[in-house]
Structure 1
Amino acid sequence: MSQELLEANLIGVFTVLDTDGDGHITVADFTEKADQLCAAYSLEAQSPHHTAMQRAYAAWWEQIRRGADSDGDGRVSQAEFVAAIRSGTAADPGYLQTVDGVCHAVFDSSDGDGDGRISREEFERIYGAVDMQADVTRVAFDHLDTDGDGVISREEFVAGVRALLTSADLSQPGTWMVGETGVR
């Protein structure tokens, strides 16, 4: 698959992160996105999961700001975001560790029964919190469940998000996560 898929997916990620739709992402967008996820799971303020989510999103914002805010204005445009990720920010081990931290916070918060797996219903709550369409949610779940056991493991989830941010290969399950593969 071409690099066009990766760019489309990065634009899809940017759109999810740009909570106010102003064409830029800022620390406020990341705080709002974390709040939306916390609300979707009814996480009490200052609870361990709430705190982990807020910290993970704050760290992710800092990684993106450092790697993508090329004009130093404290916000990142879609063009800056895509250019930074495509030029290697997503391959940086520090960036990937930060993204993994977000994955773990989301995974732990969404795993309501604490069984170490995300069910289809739990996954739908994640996607509902970030306003993804039902057909994208269904297709994303089916692709992320690489072993076909009807649930998504932590490893499947993290690998999927990493692929979403780094791969232009449709055979990688994460490339299906934001619906930019033509499944809309």
Structure 2
Amino acid sequence: MTDAIAQRLRARFELLDVDGDGRLRHDDFTAAADRVAARLGLTADDPKTRTLHQAMNRFWAGLREHADADGDGTVTLAEYAAVAGDPAGFDAHVADYARAMVGVCDRDNDGVIGRQEFLDGLNALGFAPDGAALLHESLAEPDGSVPAEAWVRSIRAYYLDPADASPNLLLHG
């Protein structure tokens, strides 16, 4: 693994580690969903909030099942790195999160996400405003909107594509 790939892997892990204790737990995934919903002005009983929580729960359950090698109920960076980049794991456990994340940002359910919703969603997840703005520019249509499916594909690439050409690299400078 190159240093650049290792740095991106660590950055992804740190974003998921909401409490910053060096271990992923179910609470980190719940906190991330709560942060996104709050930033977008959604209530806890909003169907989009519930969908995001369900997707984050599946993300965590899959990660714990496949990465928690010592069975302690947490996932360390080393355990995370051992399973990162698995397309089957992404499709089984993370793809729902990607669709739910995009869905909460698609406020009017028209299949496109406005610039501010896009930025708010990424900022709530912990991405720096400058990186989020650069990624938005790379995915946006001429009218400034981001097609939902383009963002879903981008999230998939963020987790699976180590290529230096990935637009997601803009998130980390």
Q: TM-score, normalised by structure 2?
A: 0.90
CA offsets, 1:38-70, max 9 Å, x none? 111222222211110110000000111111111
Identical pairs, percent = 29
Which is worse superposed, 19-28 or 157-166? 157-166
* Deviation for aligned residue 1:130: 2.0
**Residue in structure 2 matched with residue 51 of structure 1 by the alignment:** 50
Which is worse superposed, 160-169 or 53-62? 160-169
Name the CA distance, whole Å, in 2 between partners of 1:6 and 1:67: 21
Pairing partner for 1:122 from 108, 117, 120: 117
Q: Secondary structure of the residue that 1:170 maps to in structure 2?
A: coil
User: Contact (CA 8 Å) 1:162, 1:174: kept in 2 or not?
Assistant: no
* Deviation for aligned residue 1:7: 2.6
Pairing partner for 1:152 from 146, 156, 160: 146
Q: Secondary structure of the residue that 1:73 maps to in structure 2?
A: coil
Name the CA distance, whole Å, in 1 between partners of 2:92 and 2:151: 14
Q: TM-score, normalised by structure 1?
A: 0.85
Give the letter for the 1:99 counterpart: V
* Deviation for aligned residue 1:131: 2.8
Q: Secondary structure of the residue that 1:70 maps to in structure 2?
A: coil
**Residue in structure 2 matched with residue 170 of structure 1 by the alignment:** 164
Would you say how many aligned residue pairs link Structure 1 and Structure 2? 173
Query: Which protein, 1 or 2, shows the higher relative CO under an 8 Å CA cutoff with sep ≥ 6?
Result: 1
* Deviation for aligned residue 1:8: 2.1
Query: Residue 9 and residue 15 in structure 1: after superposition, are their counterparts in 2 closer, same or farther (change >3 A)?
Result: same
Give the letter for the 2:16 counterpart: L
Name the CA distance, whole Å, in 1 between partners of 2:148 and 2:2: 27
Unaligned runs of 5+ in 1: none
CA offsets, 1:132-158, max 9 Å, x none? 22211111212233x655221122111
Unaligned runs of 5+ in 2: none
